[in-house]
Amino acid sequence: MGKRSRDYHKSLIEDLKDPAEAAAYLEVALEEGSNEEFLLALQNVAEARGVPTTSSESNQTRNSLYTNKDAHTLPSLVTLLKSMGLRLSVHEINH
């Protein structure tokens, strides 16, 4: 990863420490990205919050947060989001 990429990632992680920024980031990733992109976004938010804290509060192993293994089930996703101070919601699509 080049310096420019590291600087971007560092800036992104800093921005994602704000819960409102993290929620907006995850919402965009969910709406516009693939499953893999959403899971990567979750990983970035966990990193911003601190993987040990997120792991402990969500009862998921550090490894599962890095590999996103447990985020594939709805109960695990809800628990993970709750540990980040976020929640899952559904909205009507306005055409």
Distance CA 1, CA 86 (A): 30
Terminal alpha carbon distance of the chain: 40
Residue where the block lists tokens 């560092």: 10
Least confident of 4-13, 36-45, 85-94: 85-94
Q: Where exactly are the structural domains of the chain?
A: 3-83
pLDDT (tens digit per residue) in 26-49: 999 988 888 888 888 988 998 898
pLDDT at res. 71: 55
Burial class from Cβ neighbours inside 10 Å (0-12, 13-18, 19+) for residue 11 reads: exposed
Q: Answer whether 51's CB lies under 8 Å from 28's CB.
A: no
pTM for this structure?
A: 0.68
